[in-house]
């Protein structure tokens, strides 16, 4: 195993599948593929391709970094589940990295984050906590807010943050607001008592 930590960072929190392999601060391989669906089927082969491109195998990894959101509910769960499974199988730490941490790594600690949310809205950071804001709030109160980098760069920043972060409990999804769940459209079945 190399003297510097070999760290695999990946993200599936939006319409992409992205990964980066770093040895210390040096990027060995990076890939990103746009996709609205199919991250669950594509993630593991993509990670294997990134490792192979750099001439490494799973057992060489010192740790894993994964994007934990906010973002697409299903995509976040895919990435976090994969990271937790790999960490358990390889007996290495998995570090969850939020979109807010990615922006701070890319733009600096004073950057005001604006992470896309449904219906043209955004997630931002206020008073030490993530919050949901409308596009109007963002334009009025947070001009010049920083957006997430391109997916490939997101994976690189995730790996860099994971390289420096002390081992923590297993990563968990970062949900700023609960998942939208529509009530059932069908009326419940009618129970008929036909004993009489």
Does residue 28 register a pLDDT over 50? yes
Q: How high is the pLDDT of residue 119?
A: 82
Q: Report the phi/psi class of residue 2: left, alpha or beta, with left for phi > 0 and alpha for psi in -120 to 50.
A: beta
Tokens of 44: 């593991």
pLDDT digits (tens, 9 = 90+) for 45-55: 999 999 999 99
Question: In this structure, which long-range contacts are made by residues 150-154, counting pairs with CB atoms below 8 Å and at least 24 apart in sequence?
Answer: 150/32, 151/11, 151/14, 151/16, 151/17, 151/18, 151/32, 151/34, 152/18, 152/20, 152/30, 152/31, 152/32, 153/106, 154/11, 154/18, 154/67, 154/102
108 in Cβ contact with 65 (< 8 Å) = no
The predicted model gives 149-166 an average pLDDT of 96
Q: How high is the pLDDT of residue 180?
A: 60
Does residue 143 register a pLDDT over 90? no
Q: Which of 169, 14, 151 is nearest to 87 (CA)?
A: 169
Residue 29, number of CB atoms within 10 A of its CB: 17
Q: Report the phi/psi class of residue 55: left, alpha or beta, with left for phi > 0 and alpha for psi in -120 to 50.
A: left
pTM above 0.95, yes or no: no
Please, how many CA atoms are within 13 Å of residue 50, restricted to the half-sphere of its CB?
Answer: 31
Does residue 99 register a pLDDT over 50? yes
Alpha helices in 10-148 (DSSP H): 39-53, 73-90, 99-107, 135-141
Q: How high is the pLDDT of residue 68?
A: 97
């Amino acid at each position: 195993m190399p003297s510097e930590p070999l760290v695999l960072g990946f993200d599936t929190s939006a319409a992409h599948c992205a990964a980066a392999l770093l040895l210390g601060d040096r990027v060995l391989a990076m890939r990103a593929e746009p996709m609205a669906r199919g991250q669950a089927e594509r993630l593991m082969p993509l990670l294997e391709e990134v490792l192979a491109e750099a001439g490494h195998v799973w057992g060489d990894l010192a740790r894993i970094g994964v994007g934990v959101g906010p973002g697409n509910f299903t995509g976040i769960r895919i990435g976090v589940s994969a990271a937790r499974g790999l960490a358990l199988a390889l007996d290495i730490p998995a570090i969850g990295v939020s979109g807010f941490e990615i922006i701070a790594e890319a733009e600096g600690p004073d950057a005001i984050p604006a992470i896309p949310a449904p219906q043209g809205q955004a997630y931002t950071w206020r008073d030490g906590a993530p919050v949901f804001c409308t596009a109007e709030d963002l334009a009025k109160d947070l001009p010049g807010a920083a957006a997430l980098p391109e997916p490939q760069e997101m994976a690189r920043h995730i790996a860099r943050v994971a390289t420096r972060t002390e081992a923590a409990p297993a990563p968990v999804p970062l949900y700023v607001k609960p998942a939208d769940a529509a009530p059932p459209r069908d009326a419940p079945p009618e129970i008929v008592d036909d004993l009489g």
